Amino acid sequence: MRIPLRVLETASGLPLPAHATYGSAGLDLRAAITEDVLLEKNLRRLVPTGLVVAIPRGYNGEIRSRSGLAHKYGVFVLNSPGTIDSDYRGEIKVLLQNFGAESFVIERGMRIAQLVIQKCETIDWDVVDSLDGTARSDNGYGSTGVK
């Protein structure tokens, strides 16, 4: 699939989003910043990528955490997955939260998140008076067991 991508001046010289390996679902997004950003523990920052995309109708983009940042430093995409709708044409920004024990420095060009393009369905509601029954019924949180 080919998707139109506009690279803003702030991302000039940075590699384009790419799959790290042949089987990678996500494309690495990089920090398009002019100077280092200190992400102190328990705080969040909106980090620009310098990218604008035109995701086709019927698809969306999902911004997800990078497992290495999460595991090594406790840095996550806060609203993961963050959703990029197909009609959004602004710069992709990544909301990072530092849940780690130490402050974390974000450097220009650092891989900060992953972008996954997913097919999504547009639905129409069929309002009914009742739904078909299931064994679970309306049993909610924890009803299928903890283990």
Average pLDDT, the chain: 94
Instruction: Locate all alpha helices (DSSP H) within 32-127, ordered by sequence.
Output: 67-73
- Tokens 């080919």, residue? 2
Residue 112 in domain? yes
Residue 141 in domain? no
Residue 147 in domain? no
What was the pLDDT predicted at 142? 75
Instruction: Give me the domain span that covers residue 21.
Output: 5-119
pLDDT top residue among 47 and 139: 47
Number of domains composing the chain: 1
Indicate if the pLDDT at residue 77 is higher than 90.
yes
Residue 142 in domain? no
- Tokens 């920052």, residue? 45
Give residue-wise pLDDT tens across range 100-139. 999 999 999 999 999 999 999 999 999 999 999 888 888 7
Residue 128 in domain? no
Per DSSP, 67 falls in state H
What was the pLDDT predicted at 90? 97
What was the pLDDT predicted at 139? 79
Residue 23 in domain? yes
Indicate if the pLDDT at residue 62 is higher than 70.
yes
What was the pLDDT predicted at 146? 63
Distance CA 22, CA 139 (A): 41
What was the pLDDT predicted at 140? 79
CATH number of 85's domain: 2.70.40.10
What was the pLDDT predicted at 129? 96
Residue 36 in domain? yes
**CB neighbour class for 69 (10 Å; exposed up to 12, middle 13-18, buried from 19):** buried
Q: For 70-90, what is the mean pLDDT?
A: 96
What was the pLDDT predicted at 70? 96
Beta bridge partners, 119, equal 59
